[in-house]
Amino acid sequence: MAATHSKDHSAQSHCVPGTSRTAKSTILETGAAIVQDFSPQKSICAHLNAFHVYASDRSRVVEANHYCGHLTEDVRQCLLYDSPDPGARLIGVEYMIKPHLFATLPPEEKKYWHTHVFEVKSGMLVMPLPASSLVPTVAWEKAETAEMEEVIQLYGKVYHLWQVDRGDKLPLGEPQLMTSILSYDQVPDLEKRMDARDAKFPGQGVDWRRKREIRKDLKEPELDPAADYYAKNKHS
């Protein structure tokens, strides 16, 4: 469901070490794609875009493109990339679970998980309409809103492996626990960040203000107060 953008997001544009891929590598990859079965990746069914905040430093915010699939109706898993373009860097992973599973977690574990209510209701979390799609925007928004009715209930656990926001050329250091955003005033200039994000998806139905209006009547779940620990408390 990823969109095709004109902006170059190749490894070279990111200054990732190494030379350009050779013809040999391209041929080997093409051959592997024909012969091998990449079943885990084929289970991906949704492309979501939102922002994450470092649990250790809430001044650091990263945009992430989520490519998610269902393991079961109650458990989802997502690969996170820094863009939706070819050559995008894999920067992290996210797991999402339904409330009844979250309720089974021990208290110490619950603090690593975040809620999605603000992401959904604010319009920050979006499903970009594929640029090549012939699906009408209105029909797509109906499907997107139905998806948001599901996501708003879920608890997520995110780790970023590549700190692209500080310019790392390789994935360095320990995995970084990330949190969600709980309010507009939690992140400076959040609305400007969302405007800039929306501009990256022209003609793809990405407009956080419109999403906010469409989703204003979505029912908010009763949240476990043990979640969002790092978004509500200073990291120690």
Can you tell me whether residue 102 is helix, strand or coil?
Answer: helix
- Is residue 197 over pLDDT 60? yes
Q: Does 207 have pLDDT greater than 70?
A: yes
26: left (phi over 0), alpha (psi -120 to 50) or beta: alpha
- The Cα–Cα gap between 206 and 194 comes to 10
Strand, helix or coil for residue 209: helix
Residue 133, pLDDT score: 77
Q: What is the pLDDT of residues 38-48, one digit of tens each?
A: 565 556 668 99
pLDDT tens digits, one per residue of 129-152: 987 778 888 888 999 999 999 999
Instruction: Provide the CB-side half-sphere exposure for 62 (13 A, CA).
Output: 29
What is the Cα gyration radius of the chain? Answer: 18
Of 120, 123, 146, nearest in space to 223 by CA: 120
Per-residue pLDDT, 90: 97
Looking at per-residue pLDDT, the higher value among 182 and 24 belongs to 182
- pLDDT of 148-190, one tens digit each? 999 999 999 999 999 999 999 999 999 999 999 999 999 999 9
**Is the pLDDT at 61 greater than 80, yes or no?**
yes
pLDDT of residue 148: 96
> Which whole number is the average pLDDT over 80-97?
95
What average pLDDT does this structure show over 43-69?
Answer: 92
pLDDT at 36: 60
Q: Which of 20-24, 134-138, 211-215 has the lowest mean pLDDT?
A: 20-24
Q: Is the pLDDT of residue 4 over 90?
A: no
What pLDDT was estimated at residue 155?
A: 98
The arithmetic mean of pLDDT across residues 46-71, rounded, is 95
pTM for the model stands at 0.84
Smallest CA-to-CA distance from 230 within 172, 180, 187 is with 180
Percent of the chain with pLDDT over 70: 81
Instruction: Please say whether the dihedral angle defined by the alpha carbons of residues 36, 64, 113 and 212, taken in this order, is positive or negative.
Output: negative
pLDDT of residue 107: 96
